[in-house]
Amino acid sequence: MFTHQIDPLVKNSLSYFEPFSPVKINNKRDDLIKLYWQYHQRFKAIKTFPVQNGSVLDVGSGSGGLFFWKEYMLPNRKDMKMTAVDLQKGEYFDRYEKYVILNLDDKTLPFEDNSFNFIMLSHLIEHVNDWKSLLDQCSRILKKSGVMYIETPSLHTRDLPASKKFKDMGLPCQTINFFDDGTHVEPVNLDEVGTYVNAINCMTLEKGYCRSVYLEDQLLAYGHKHSDMEVAQYGLWSKLLFSSYIVIQKM
C-alpha cells in the first residue's frame, strides 16, 4: 500500500497552495481541534483498543500529553493504567502510574514478558536506528491479543517541500518534509513492518494514511487567518498525507 505511486495525489494537494485559496470557516478553533482528533486513527486507537482496566505503554511519550486523552471526549478511559517511556522526563509523567527514562538505541525496554494490553508508538520508530529490534521488544512485552499502534511520517515526506515554503504562504508549521525534524533517522515503510510482524507472531488489523478530507481545508483556512501553528499544522499534515499508521495485534 505505502509503496504505491501517490505522486499525482500529493501533487494535486500541493497545487491547492499555489495560490492559497482558503475556504469559509464554519467552526470555532476548539471545535476544529476536537473534530480533528475525534476521527483521527491515533485517538480512535487509544480509546477503543485497550481492554477494560488495560495496561498501556506509551513509548516516546514526549511531554506525556497522551494521558489527557483518557478523559478527553468519549469514551472516558480513566480505567487505563498508563506507563510512559522517553529519553527524558516529560512535563506530565507524574500523572502516569509509572515512567521509565531510557535511550531505545542503547537499552532494552525493562518490562516483563506479557506486561501490556496496548502499546502506543506514535512518531517514534523514525527516531530509532533499529525498528525491528524495537518491535521484537514490543512483541515480547505485549500480552496475547494485545494491540500495538504505530504512526510515522509517510515515505513520500522525504520529497515534500520544506516547511519554509508553507510559512512563506502564511501557514505557520514546523515539520512537513521528513528532514525538517533533525532528529529523524529514516522513514519506515509500514508495508515492511506489516510483513515483519508476521514473523513475530503478530498480524495487521488495519493500516492507512491519517487524513480528514472534510476538515483539512477549514483547518488550513483558520490557521492562515489567525497565524495559528497548531491548526495549520493539522491541516497540512492531513492534506499532504503526512502520517501513515498500522495497527498490529499479537496472536
Q: Are strands 55-59 and 243-250 parallel, antiparallel or unpaired?
A: unpaired
pLDDT digits (tens, 9 = 90+) for 60-113: 999 999 999 999 999 999 999 999 999 999 999 999 999 999 999 999 999 999
Phi, psi of 72 (to 5 degrees): -85, 115
> Rounded mean pLDDT of 213-239?
96
Domains of the chain by residue range: 7-250
Q: Does domain 7-250 have CATH number 3.40.50.150?
A: yes
Answer positive or negative: Cα dihedral of 41, 61, 85, 94. negative
pLDDT at 4 over 70: no
> Rounded mean pLDDT of 168-176?
95
- Residue 35 is placed in which grid cell? 473534530
- Residue 13 is placed in which grid cell? 494537494
pLDDT digits (tens, 9 = 90+) for 111-142: 999 999 999 999 999 999 999 999 999 999 99
Between the alpha carbon of residue 118 and those of residues 35, 37, 130, 249, the distances in Å are: 24, 19, 21, 9
